[in-house]
Chain A
Amino acid sequence: MSSVYINGVSCISVQDTLAEDFFGQFKPENSVPIVKAIEPAYKEFIPAAMIRRMSKTVKMSSVASHYALKEAGIEKPDAIIVGTGMGCSQDSEKFLKNVIDNQEEFLTPTYFIQSTHNTVAGQIALALQCHAYNFTYVNTSSALEFSLLDAKLQLTDDEAENILVGSTDEQTERTMELYQLRHIIKKTEHFPVDFLTSTTKGVLWGEGSSFFVIGKNKTENSYAQIRDIQITNKLEQQETESFIEAFLVKNNFSLTDIDAVILGFSGDQESDTYYKTAINLFPESALLYYKHLSGEYNTASGFSTFMACHILKNQQIPEIMMINSIKKNAIKNVLLYNHLLGNDHSLVLLEKV
């Protein structure tokens, strides 16, 4: 498969990733179970008549997509593809609450309409008056990766020149309570947590929105090339190595060719073992982690993909992300490996432009 290029990127997250100099300003999180995104002043980007109906995920996506398109110099993309795990959960919850509290009477449509998973992609199309291909993937953990794959196929098939791809997820209070009940989110007494050596179950939950413009051709601004993507629904522990190795071999890479590996350590003892296995494959590579910055959520890899782009462009790795202290002279490629509590494993191989 031939490469395609990431020509515009933007990220709203628990870190101040919209700021110019965010690279040096990271504040790691390891002391509370739930962390919230830093939000911009939406009024500057979205007319009041529209903001009034938008949930957090729609607002974040509006701004992030705006910046990504602007950076890539694209007004109307040839396709819009969005990935999300929980969709528009705030409005979904509001409508559900109304249904239950009012016993199915006196219900109004706004929250219901806004609750469909493809609201984000639909709203972006509406704002841009973009009639092109418009998809929403809602995989548990690989929604962004599948969106990138879809975009790549279209670009290499000459069905499009520039595609807007994004991922977004928001929190709701009640879902966070339920996740804590289920120990998907760690108990408070298990904090502070060391992500790399955690001995307890559960994760720290975040939220955010990341958008990318993927193009057939490179530009002056290009951040990275997408070489290949691999996704699988589940993996036995002992299959981890062959899963990663097969992917690299398919792309004519050996393990030692990889300069940097970004791993999705989440602090959940059981499922982090996959990443520990992966570490053993790359003794000569720079190893990174990120969920202590972004939190874990269904589309947390939006943050790592955003960071990988900056790392390749700036040829610098933020110290706060380093697992080991291997420093490469040049970072020619980055391998990203992620899953959510053992579901939906994905590998993405990015290269320097």
Chain B
Amino acid sequence: MEDLKLELKHKIIEVLNLEDVAVEEIKDTDPLFGGGLGLDSIDALELIVLLDKDYGIKLADPKKGKEIFQSIDTMAKFIEENRTK
């Protein structure tokens, strides 16, 4: 799980083009949206695609993303439970 969390932090920085953010700055329980990173609904769509492309999880309802992407913790937990890749 710890590996997955670290992997997620790297991927988020890459996919969302967060050039100035270091992996250490993203805490596991920090809110991803509405927090310091300044992510918005377009980023949520990007993360939905990430779930599909890298972990084989298809999210039909974009509104579910709100719960899943609350923090690195919630994201990692959801992926562990649902990944097909």
Direct contact of A and B (CB under 8 A): yes
Bound Cα distance A52, B39 (Å): 11
A-B contact count (CB 8 A): 27
- A-chain residues with CB within 8 Å of residue B2 when the two chains form the complex: none
Question: Min CB distance, B61 to chain A, in Å?
Answer: 17
Any chain B CB within 8 A of the CB of A53?
Answer: yes
Number of interface residues of A (CB under 8 A): 12
Q: Is the pair B38, A49 in contact by a Cβ cutoff of 8 Å?
A: yes
Bound Cα distance A56, B17 (Å): 15
Q: Kindly identify which residue among B16, B37, B52 contacts A106, using a CB–CB cutoff of 8 Å.
A: B52
Q: Kindly identify which residue among A47, A48, A51, A109 contacts B42, using a CB–CB cutoff of 8 Å.
A: A109
- B-chain residues with CB within 8 Å of residue A53 when the two chains form the complex: 17, 42
Q: Is the pair B52, A108 in contact by a Cβ cutoff of 8 Å?
A: no
Indicate whether A52 sits within 8 Å of B16 (C-beta atoms), given known contacts A108-B46, A109-B45: yes
Question: What does the 1/0 interface line of B2-28 toward A look like (CB < 8 Å)?
Answer: 000000000000011111100000000
Q: Is the pair A106, B18 in contact by a Cβ cutoff of 8 Å?
A: no
Any chain B CB within 8 A of the CB of A110?
Answer: yes
Bound Cα distance A51, B42 (Å): 15
Indicate whether A113 sits within 8 Å of B20 (C-beta atoms), given known contacts A106-B53, A107-B49, A108-B49: no
- A-chain residues with CB within 8 Å of residue B15 when the two chains form the complex: 108
Q: Is the pair B49, A106 in contact by a Cβ cutoff of 8 Å?
A: yes
Number of interface residues of B (CB under 8 A): 14
User: For chain B residues 37-85, which have a beta carbon within 8 Å of chain A?
Assistant: 37-38, 42, 45-46, 49, 52-53
User: For chain A residues 28-46, which have a beta carbon within 8 Å of chain B?
Assistant: none
- B-chain residues with CB within 8 Å of residue A47 when the two chains form the complex: 38
Question: What does the 1/0 interface line of A48-68 toward B look like (CB < 8 Å)?
Answer: 110111000000000000000
- A-chain residues with CB within 8 Å of residue B20 when the two chains form the complex: 48
Bound Cα distance A162, B20 (Å): 36
For residue B15, which residue of chain A has the nearest CB? A108
For residue B17, which residue of chain A has the nearest CB? A52
Beyond known contacts A47-B38, A51-B19, A108-B46: 18 more, CB 8 A cutoff: A48-B19, A48-B20, A49-B37, A49-B38, A52-B16, A52-B17, A52-B18, A52-B19, A53-B17, A53-B42, A106-B49, A106-B52, A106-B53, A108-B49, A109-B45, A109-B46, A110-B46, A113-B42
Query: 3 closest A-B pairs (Cβ-Cβ)?
Result: A49-B38, A52-B17, A106-B53
A-B contact list, 16 entries, CB within 8 Å: A48-B18, A48-B20, A51-B19, A52-B16, A52-B18, A53-B17, A53-B42, A106-B49, A106-B52, A107-B49, A108-B46, A109-B42, A109-B45, A109-B46, A110-B46, A113-B42
